[in-house]
Chains A and B, each alone.
Chain A
Amino acid sequence: MVEPGTPSMAPTISGASDFSEDGLRDAYRLMVLARVADERCLMLQRQGRIGFYAPLMGQEAAQVGASRALSPGDWVFPAYREMAVALARGVSLKAIFDQLLGNADDAIRGRQMPNHFGFREKNFVVASSPIGTQITQAVGAAMAAQRRKDPVVAIAFFGDGATSSNDFHAGLNFAGVFQSPSIFFCQNNQWAISMPRKRQTMSATLAEKAAAYGIPGVQVDGNDIRAVYRAVRDARARAVSGHGPTMIEAEVYRFGPHSTSDDPKRYQTDLELSAAKARDPIGRLKAELIASALWDEVAEQKLWEESRAYVSRTFEASEKATPLDPRSIFEDVFARLSPRLAEERADYDDRAREGALRS
């Protein structure tokens, strides 16, 4: 097999009619890598080696399928659960782990909680915690691409809870009015922390909300990577040919907790979770690959073993990275250090020197 994280993991075909056989196997490898990394991160948090983690398990097909239908020049505005999207766009697992640790190699220099990464060179905009705010921003980026006549879409990833946010409504409304090349990709994982989908809104589907803004809304089975891929591919084609935005609701299920600070046993039944896990997108794609003679149990076992070893190796490498320079706290507030921040830094330097003298 190809080692996880090597260049073949990067986005391959774009604009292709459907997955090639190799493309489908590659996508499967990526989904397994994401699952293994996800499980490991939950464990690392419990061991106190990372401070926090928000898992994506259950959403692998939705994230990888959507990502494979995008071009490298497209702009991704993620929420904070999109690790598999980042990996699918060619972000290295090391870069993700560096962010979880906030070490000196972290692309965002330890500025945010785990999961809130961003990678300019992959057009993966830095995430934030407020819900839905990325949606209007994605519309603005799409409007900018539209004005420059770039063949680029901006896609916003968000969850079912975000469909209640101010920016969901403002964003879809703007996109409808300006016919921006936007894709609104809602991963309906059925839970907004403890609030079930059915109590988030009385709308029968989330996709139908798009109709209120005069834009198409489609619902797909988010466990079916081909269905997700086709929906995003079609939405992208419409957007870049000047036919405006699309909302896609990918129905998935959040297998894990909202985050490591959450205990789903307070609001979720074992029965519901096990029923959802029977529709695991990874199991589903594996069965499809085996049925098409593209995969076998030997390859399967090897993939999981190698992914686990790769994840271990990579995390250990991230743990070895040097810690952040404390003086970096004052940087990137403004383009240039303000007089006030220069003063605060000088004060810090004085105290650091005193401390050094004492020890």
Chain B
Amino acid sequence: MTELNIVQAINRTLHDAMRQDPNVLILGEDIGVNGGVFRATEGLFKEFGAERVIDTPLSETGIIGAAIGMALYGLKPVAEIQFMDFIYPAFDQIVSELAKFRYRSAGQYPAHVVIRTPYGGGIKGGLYHSQSTEAYFCHTAGIKVVVPSTPADARGLLFSAIDDEDPVLFLEPKRIYRSLTGEVPEGAERVPFGRARIVRDGSDVSVFAYGAMVPQAAEAAGKLEQDGISAEVVDLRSLVPLDEAAAVASVEKTGRAVIVHEAARFCGFGAELAAVLAEKALYSLKAPVVRVTGFDTPFPYALENLYLPNADRIAHAARAAVRAA
């Protein structure tokens, strides 16, 4: 075990994956000589050279289109999109092409591309360096979407993403890239997709979160404990595939659900989770499901802290749910 932050864990995992498998290569903007704008790819260019650490021209559709071609050919490209906010020029390649290659070719042409991209607010990035738009991609059949919230999960999920046979969108919560450290295994332990992680056991209310909202949910649970409320914090980790069984089991135990994400509420991921609970755990619910999310506004700059859910908002929602029944 080593104490690392999330960027270091990702960096180390990329090094290890590239050492273990000569088919793994990475491509993106400023990832080579410069080591990435967040330094996630630091040192890779020096070790693996320009053939496997490819600094690309400034075109997201070029990056993902080329990554798809490489994957069809048999390589394992890990593409970086510098900020999730800049992924849209590649939206066509991701949604129309990458996610559909296996299906539209009936399995003849699987395209296993891993797309790493930093997402989310809390860094004073304003409209275009803060968004959390995972729902667009979760809505698209054929692509998996995972979000680590700890250094260990960053490593374990990234290994799984590179092993996987399907395209994976790997979302990196940039707000906690460095602010949070944790024990990370030296080995190549995988964290399987589709398994939520119980961050903290509880019996009165389930708080579901992912990415940078997990530490906020955990902090809220601490506040709630002082009020005598026992909150269970569930880190979803894997949005597609979703660990529905874990979500249902938690609500069967607590009878209340608070769903937290940075993204806007309307048609956000929480809507899907709330629907799953309505379909599969309705009779266990003692109170309405509550969503604590970003507002249905574009992501603001100066008022970012008002927009982003925090421990107080989460605790407030949980108290209300507990009071309701």
Contacts and interface: CB of A to CB of B under 8 A. Distances in A.
Interface stretch (A126-134, A271-279, A281-289): A126-134
A147 B62 contact: no
B75 A144 contact: yes
Given A130-B96, A334-B102, A340-B241, A107 B108 contact: yes
A75 B69 CA distance: 10
A144 B70 CA distance: 5
A125 B57 contact: no
B73 A144 contact: yes
Interface string A147-183: 1100000100000000000110111011001100000
Interface in A312-345: 331-336, 338-340
B109 A125 contact: yes
A77 B108 CA distance: 14
Contacts of B92: 130, 133, 166-167
B68 A137 contact: yes
B97 A133 contact: yes
A69 interface: no
A314 B123 CA distance: 63
B97 A128 contact: yes
Given A108-B106, A118-B108, A126-B108, A75 B61 contact: no
Most B Cβ at <10 Å: residue of A75, A119, A166: A166
Interface in B140-176: 141-142, 144, 164-166
A115 interface: no
A106 to B, nearest CB: 8
B108 A135 contact: no
A356 to B, nearest CB: 26
B105 interface: yes
Interface residues of A, number: 50
A2 to B, nearest CB: 29
A77 B97 CA distance: 13
A154 B69 contact: yes
A133 B65 CA distance: 7
B59 interface: yes
Nearest to A154: B69
A141 interface: yes
A85 interface: no
Most buried by A among B59, B62, B142: B62
Q: Which 9 A-B pairs have the closest CB atoms?
A: A140-B69, A136-B65, A140-B66, A170-B62, A144-B73, A335-B165, A141-B69, A126-B105, A120-B108
Interface of A: 75, 77, 106-109, 111-112, 116, 118-120, 125-126, 128-130, 133, 135-145, 147-148, 154, 166-167, 169-171, 173-174, 177-178, 331-336, 338-340
Interface of B: 25, 51-52, 54, 56-57, 59, 61-62, 64-75, 77, 89, 92-93, 96-97, 100-110, 141-142, 144, 164-166, 194, 241-242, 244
Given A75-B72, A137-B72, 10 more contacts: A119-B108, A133-B97, A137-B69, A139-B69, A141-B70, A166-B89, A169-B59, A173-B62, A174-B66, A331-B107
